[in-house]
Amino acid sequence: MEQAKLNAYCQQHFDQEPIMVRAAGRINLIGEHTDYNNGFVLPAAIDKAIYLAIIKRNDNKIVMHALDVNDSYTGSLDKLERTKQHWPDYLLGVVQQLQQGGHIIGGFECAFCGNVPLGAGLSSSAALECATVFGLNELFSLGLGRKEMALLSQAAENQFVGVRCGIMDQFASMFGKKQQLIKLDCGSLEYEYIPFNFDDVNLVLLDTQVKHSLASSEYNTRRAECEQGVAWVKVHHPHVNSLRDVSMDMLDAYVKGKNATVYNRCRYVVEEIQRLQDACIDLQNDDLTSFGKKVFATHEGLDKLYNVSCPELNWLAEFAAGENGVLGARMMGGGFGGCTINIVKKTAVPALLERAAAGYKQQFNTTLKAYVTSIEDGCRTVNNLVNN
Ligand code: GAF
């Protein structure tokens, strides 16, 4: 549907055939808030995506249309500034990074729309950045590889938008593969695909519809707390550069007595990095029950130690834990709102959706949104409506 909408727009407004890109949102099975600590993550690209169409202009203007909010931006390649509208910043940040990297691009016009719910923790912003860089790379034959494009998108968000996010979301959007999780080492950016294709299981996203407006400032605070913990350990172990290099013994010796909050944050991260490794062994053994227990444990840690949950997420995770056929459930992404991810036996999905919606309505007077999602390919060009 999104692609049809974009196509109709292009036919009406563009005088040349555009390059069209699909960039997916992402889920993450386990490994939350570990990416900026050089740990591991286990994300995947999903069936929800941003579609972007892009053409060259003969001048140095940048013209962009956000079809879903019916808004446009016109500016110049010579003067990139943050906007009041906010959404152009994700695209302009990419342009700025390309310019800083010495890549030559000319003026362009683009339009985009999508079905990644905004503020739901499914990385619509990373998808938009990735769609932009992927489109510009094609349009101006820049020759960038996927890794470079993921890093460049992350830098755009860090430096232009001002959120110090890690690499997970952009990497997942770029490298996603159908029915595969990406086990990514965020320290080295080495990765492997791990199949996630269970006939009897669905991945269900329950959307609190609480927009994570607090997230960016709190997110940066969490990063700073982790860095503080590392600094205290480093005094005694100079080789330590991130929480990836830190053990629980080190935390107990050098952080515990100094500050309880910093200790809790670091403890969660150190435990989560190990939990992910153990969870991958569960996957190798096709043991989703054991995997799911670790997913529940991640929620507990994110809530109690990392303090990035909220009442709505907690309610959904606890509710799911008490339901038949739910193997694992937790809040996902940065936190303070957005979705829970639930690993659910297919036969149990209808009852879960019905009972969760009824309970959530009663508890929060809000209509719960739910998405049964699938794992799909990441960034790619699309060129016809019928097959894509
Ligand atoms: C957000 C960030 F963008 C990611 O880099 C990651 O840190 C995530 O929160 C938490 O795991 O999505």
Active site residue 169: yes
Cα–Cα distances in angstroms (integers) from residue 47 to residues 139, 353, 369, in the given order: 25, 19, 16
State how far the Cα of 353 lies from the Cα of 372, in Å rounded to an integer: 10
Question: What stretch(es) of the chain map to CATH 3.30.70.890?
Answer: 201-373
27 CB near ligand 1 (under 6 Å): no
Q: Is 333 in the pocket of ligand 1 (CB under 6 A)?
A: yes
3-class SS string, 100-141: HCCCCCCCEEEEEEECCCCCCCCCHHHHHHHHHHHHHHHHCC
At 92, which amino acid appears? L
Task: State pLDDT tens for residues 11-23.
Answer: 999 999 999 999 9
Nearest Cα to Cα of residue 42 among 30, 52, 54: 30
Our answer on whether the CB atom of 31 is closer than 6 Å to any ligand 1 atom is no
Whole-angstrom CA distances from 360 to 129, 208, 304, 317, 350 are 33, 9, 22, 11, 15
Residue intervals of the chain classified under CATH 3.30.230.10 are 1-196+376-381
Q: How confident is the model at residue 1 (pLDDT cuts 50, 70, 90)?
A: confident
At 145-200, the pLDDT tens digits run 999 999 999 999 999 998 889 999 999 999 999 999 999 999 999 999 999 999 99
Q: What is the dotted CATH code of the domain comprising 1-196+376-381?
A: 3.30.230.10
pTM of the model: 0.96
- Ligand 1 centroid distance, CA of 228 (Å): 19
CA distance 33 to 24: 20
Residue that wins the pLDDT comparison between 162 and 362: 362
Nearest of 29, 4, 216 to residue 115 by alpha carbon: 4
Contacts of 17 (CB under 8 A, 6+ apart): 55
- Ligand 1 close to Cβ of residue 272 (< 6 A): no
Q: Which of 60-64, 88-92, 178-182, 217-221 has the lowest mean pLDDT?
A: 217-221
pLDDT per position as a tens digit, 288-343: 999 999 999 999 999 999 999 999 999 999 999 999 999 999 999 999 999 999 99
CATH architecture entry for 201-373: 2-Layer Sandwich (3.30)
Where does the pLDDT of residue 387 fall: very low under 50, low under 70, confident under 90, or very high at 90 and above?
Answer: very low
- Residue 121 CA to ligand 1 center (angstroms) comes to 9
The answer for residues whose C-beta is within 8 angstroms of residue 231's C-beta and 6 or more apart is: none
Reported as half-sphere exposure (CB side, CA atoms, 13 A), residue 381 has a value of 13
Query: Measured from the CB, is residue 33 less than 6 Å from ligand 1?
Result: yes
Tell me the average pLDDT of the chain.
Answer: 96
Q: Is 256 left (phi over 0), alpha (psi -120 to 50) or beta?
A: alpha
Q: What is the pLDDT of residues 80-116, one digit of tens each?
A: 999 999 999 999 999 999 999 999 999 999 999 999 9
Region 358-383 average pLDDT? 96
CA of 104 relative to ligand 1 center, distance in Å: 30
- For residues 48 and 23, what is the distance between their CA atoms, to the nearest angstrom? 9
Backbone angles phi, psi at 247, to 5 degrees: -105, 165
pLDDT band at residue 388, thresholds of 50, 70 and 90?
very low
Helix (H) or strand (E) holding 289: helix 288-304
Closest CA to 194 of 280, 261, 109: 280
35, 89, 169, 207: which one is catalytic? 169
Angstrom distance (rounded) from CA 338 to CA 368: 11
Q: pLDDT class for 217, splitting at 50, 70, 90?
A: confident
Amino acid letter, residue 112: F
